[in-house]
Structure 1
Amino acid sequence: MFHKEGQTIILTTFIIVVGIVLLSEFYIINDWLRWGLQATSVLVLIIILQFFRNPKRSANNLFDEILAPVDGKVVVIEEVLETEYFNDKRLQVSIFMSPFNVHVTRYPISGTIKYSKYHPGKYLVAWHPKSSTDNERTTVVINTPKFGKILYRQIAGAMARRIVNYAEEGESVQQGDDSGFIKFGSRVDLLLPLDCGIAVKLNQKVVGAKTCIATYVDKHEERDFT
């Protein structure tokens, strides 16, 4: 399956590739040049198809687990001061996506959208410390039954030039459903309550709608920080 955000570019690329292959058969006499042009065209089509793939995944809709919103690698786990919505300290977990990862963004947990805002900005490399606040980005806050409000942020990178966000304030969403798409490499930040249990480590590879990022910790139970 391919994501709907890629339908136009996939169709356009396919038409161009077919045109190049057919025209080269009639107008390019040199075999090596003709085969090289055809092979390059087909390779570009394969890369486009690979980038816009959208594997279907079903989440368990667990209210006590926050799942990875995207495929990628965990590059940040730290306590930060979140200033856009909460204005207090949160645990930040950042996931970097390479151009080879699936770029579908999925809701990390079920709940109700309380906040959804787009911010124009720069296109610093996604791992730059200021990319979370200076780059083009969207911020979404979900109100959940156990964690309270959690925030995730789609952040454009040096190659990304378009962020698609489906979240609308007031709507109820289901864990694992498509929430958007980021084109050509970027990252997603999760801003979570300080008292949740982080279930991933730095440099760990995660799978959207599959890998558990954090778990709910009952405040009445003793927590083990060792």
Structure 2
Amino acid sequence: MARSPPLARLLPFPVVDEAWRLALVPALLGAATLPLVPPVGAGLLALALGVLWFHRDPDREPPDADGIVVAPADGTVSVVREEGSRLRVGVFMNVTDVHVNRAPIAGEVREVRHRPGANRPAFSKESDRNEQVAIDFGEYELLVIAGWFARRIHPAVAAGDAVDRGERVGHVSFGSRADVVLPADVDEDDLLVREGDAVRAGETVVAERA
């Protein structure tokens, strides 16, 4: 993992490492343009700061309880449905939400798969066909789905990695959805959320396993 620059200490919030690379170009252009065309320079510097803010990465405290499933992302529950013999819960991440994804349940990563696809709005039904990254934990699967503007999904785990519940497993840039296909022993009566509920990654309990 790349080391964050010294400037990171000046920010009032932590950010993912990728944010610095994305913010670099508007920051440099803004600094160069500010003395010549102040409004344009100020706008570019504001854009750089906005990119950093979008990629903020706050710490979270997962609940200390057995048999629970926590939300994989910040946002609004947009999908609750049966998928074969399993339940699928999806969280839509708006542009103002934190876009760091977390493991809903502790486990070992079996496989990380990338699937190319479309770029429909992440809150639409057609977004199931979008580009996505699947993190397969065996008993459950986490799917990070790109939105119409998102083009960068960054998994932070690989096959063989063991993760704790609520641990960071990656992030995605600029609007998307994170779905968890729950273990087979979780049924509808175990769910604690429904469509429209606001959730926080790693902290909100979305289901209790019997």
User: Does TM, scored on the shorter chain, surpass 0.5?
Assistant: yes
Q: What is the SS of the residue equivalent to 2:158?
A: coil
CA contact (8 A) 2:150 2:173 kept: yes
1:140 to 135, 140, 153: 135
More strand by share: 1
Deviation, 1:157, is: 0.8
Report the TM-score when normalising by structure 1: 0.79
SS in 2 for 1:73: strand
- Counterpart of 1:156 in structure 2 is 146
Paired with 1:113 and 1:190, the residues of 2 have a C-alpha distance of: 14
Aligned with residue 193 of structure 2, among 196, 200, 208: 200
Asked if 1:129 corresponds to 2:125, the answer is yes
Cα deviation 1:126-164 (Å, max 9, x = unaligned): 1232322x2110111224xxxxx1111000110101111
CA apart distance, 1:60: 4.1
| Superposed displacement of residue 125, structure 1 | 1.4
Tell me what 2:8 maps to: none
Query: Matches of 1:62 and 1:113 in 2, distance apart?
Result: 22
Task: Report the 3-state secondary structure (helix = DSSP H, G, I; strand = E; otherwise coil) of the residue aligned with 1:23.
Answer: coil
Structure 2 segments unaligned to the other structure (5+ residues): 1-13
Q: Aligned-residue CA RMSD in angstroms?
A: 1.7
Max Rg structure: 1
Gaps (5+ residues) in structure 1?
25-33, 82-88, 144-148, 218-226
Distance in 1 separating the partners of 2:108 and 2:64: 14
Conservation of the 8 A alpha-carbon contact between 2:193 and 2:206: yes
User: Could you tell me how far apart the structure 2 residues matched to 1:98 and 1:126 are?
Assistant: 9
Report 1:1-226 matches (<5 A). Answer: 1-24=14-37, 34=38, 36-60=39-63, 62-81=65-84, 89-132=85-128, 134-143=129-138, 149-193=139-183, 195-196=185-186, 197-217=190-210
1:29 alignment partner in structure 2: none
Query: Closer, same or farther in 2 for the Cα pair 1:163/1:61, shift >3 Å?
Result: farther
C-alpha contact (below 8 Å) 1:63/1:109 kept by paired residues: no
Q: In structure 1, how many angstroms separate the alpha carbons of the residues matched to 2:171 and 2:181? A: 19
Q: Which moved more, 1:101-110 or 1:58-67?
A: 58-67
In the other structure, the counterpart of 2:10 is none
Cα distance in 1 for residues equivalent to 2:60 and 2:111: 25
Equivalent in the alignment of 1:27? none
Query: What is the alpha-carbon distance in structure 2 between the residues aligned to residue 11 and residue 159 of structure 1?
Result: 20
Q: Which residue of 1 aligns with 2:5?
A: none
Q: Which residue type is aligned with residue 156 of structure 1?
A: A
Runs (4+) off by over 3 Å: 60-63
CA shift at 1:122, angstroms? Answer: 1.1
Question: Structure 2 length normalisation: TM-score?
Answer: 0.85
Matched residues, number: 194
Rounded Cα–Cα distance in structure 1 between residues aligned with 2:62 and 2:175: 24
Aligned mates of 2:147, 2:116 — CA distance in 1: 12
Percent sequence identity is 29
